[in-house]
């Protein structure tokens, strides 16, 4: 994007000139960096870079992070190491540690966009169940106390309580066919139970409740589910 169409008032011509400039005048720092690194003792340079990457990962990756997060941190750490080495060799005018600070900022931004340190499957499970409850928590869950509509179309379960005591009781068939569509239902239940979003029974993830005087097995979702985040608050 640019603010004006250039001296010729032709946006297409200006964009083409940018493209040409980018492939023909890209500076000399990169070439000099490669030359200087080659001139150094390869083993020493390799050892130094590996240590810098390991230090970056150990300092900035949260404990218990998924493997994808660790691999991404190694990439950002390699960028930081290259920047610090370029500064050490006098190729860039940056202050020492500037490249590391920039890489740390970029890694944290990537983590925030990703949604945290959890495995992608965990985040997907929580997000999918949370979205279903947010969209259908009132319309497709019948109030067990009879305070809501007497007729609930395409009922997915029942609801009870208010505020922090709110619970959604999901019928097993809807848990598998709709709420966990495309996911492993047992993995989803395990993921939610571990984070305090689903009440676990002694014999599994389905709890026995009474509805209209009759015992039924349901998945009990708790109010903390919709509070946001991937860990119970």
pTM of the model as a whole: 0.56
Domain count across the chain: 2
Q: What is the pLDDT of residue 196?
A: 92
Q: Which two tokens stand for residue 210?
A: 């009474």
**132 and 203 fall within a common domain:** yes
166 & 222 share domain: yes
In a domain, 27, yes or no: no
Regarding predicted confidence, which is higher, 21 or 59?
59
Residues 87, 158: one domain? no
Residue 124 shares a structural domain with residue 144: yes
Same domain membership, residue 139 and residue 197: yes
Domain co-membership, 142 together with 56: no
pLDDT at position 1: 66
Per the domain annotation, does 84 fall within a domain?
A: yes
Question: Percentage of residues in the chain with pLDDT exceeding 90?
Answer: 55
Q: Considering Cα of 150, then 156, then 157, then 158, what sign does the dihedral take?
A: negative
Same domain for 142 and 68: no
CA dist., res. 147 & res. 160, Å (int): 10
Domain boundary, last residue among 114, 143, 178: 114
Work out whether the CA dihedral 37, 41, 42, 43 comes out positive or negative: negative
Q: Cα(6)–Cα(143) distance, rounded to whole angstroms?
A: 64
Whether the CB-CB separation of 37 and 45 falls below 8 Å is answered with yes
> Residue 24: inside a domain, yes or no?
no
Long-range (24+ apart) CB contacts under 8 A made by 49-57 are 49/78, 49/81, 49/82, 49/85, 52/77, 52/80, 52/81, 52/84, 53/77, 53/78, 53/80, 53/81, 56/80, 56/81, 56/100, 56/103, 56/104
Which pLDDT does position 150 carry in this prediction? 64
Q: Do residues 126 and 218 both lie within one domain?
A: yes
Give the β-pairing of 198-199 and 214-222. antiparallel
Q: What's the average model confidence in pLDDT over 169-178?
A: 93
Across residues 99-123, what is the average pLDDT?
A: 85
pLDDT digits (tens, 9 = 90+) for 12-54: 888 888 888 888 877 788 888 988 888 888 788 889 999 999 9
Q: Please give the radius of gyration of the chain, using alpha carbons only, rounded to the nearest integer.
A: 27
Of 88, 114, 140, the last residue of a domain is 114
User: What is the predicted pLDDT for the residue at 233?
Assistant: 47
125 & 184 share domain: yes
Q: Is residue 33 part of a domain?
A: no
Residue 191: give the domain boundaries.
120-227
CA 160, CA 63: separation in Å to the nearest integer? 37
**97 in any annotated domain:** yes
Average pLDDT over residues 118-129: 84
What's the pLDDT score for residue 39?
A: 86
**Which of 96, 114, 132 lies at the terminal end of a domain, its last residue?**
114
């Amino acid at each position: 994007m640019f603010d004006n169409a250039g001296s010729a008032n032709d946006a297409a011509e200006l964009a083409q000139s940018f493209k040409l400039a980018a492939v023909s005048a890209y500076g000399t720092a990169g070439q000099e960096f490669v030359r200087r690194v080659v001139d150094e003792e390869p083993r020493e340079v390799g050892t130094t870079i590996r240590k810098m990457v390991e230090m970056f990962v150990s300092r900035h990756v949260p404990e218990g992070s998924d493997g994808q997060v660790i691999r991404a941190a190694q990439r950002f750490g390699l960028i930081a190491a290259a920047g610090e080495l370029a500064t050490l060799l006098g190729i860039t005018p940056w202050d020492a540690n500037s490249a590391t600070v920039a890489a740390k900022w970029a890694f944290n931004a990537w983590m925030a966009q990703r949604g945290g340190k959890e495995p992608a499957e965990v985040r997907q499970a929580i997000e999918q169940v949370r979205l279903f409850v947010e969209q259908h928590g009132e319309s497709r869950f019948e109030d067990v106390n009879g305070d809501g509509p007497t007729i609930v179309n395409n009922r997915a379960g029942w609801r009870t309580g208010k505020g922090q005591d709110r619970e959604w009781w999901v019928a097993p068939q809807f848990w598998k066919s709709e709420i966990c569509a495309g996911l492993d239902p047992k993995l989803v239940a395990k993921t939610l139970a571990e984070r305090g979003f689903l009440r676990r029974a002694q014999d599994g993830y389905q709890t026995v409740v009474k509805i209209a005087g009759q015992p039924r097995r349901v998945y009990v979702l708790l109010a903390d589910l919709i509070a946001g985040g991937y860990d119970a608050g």
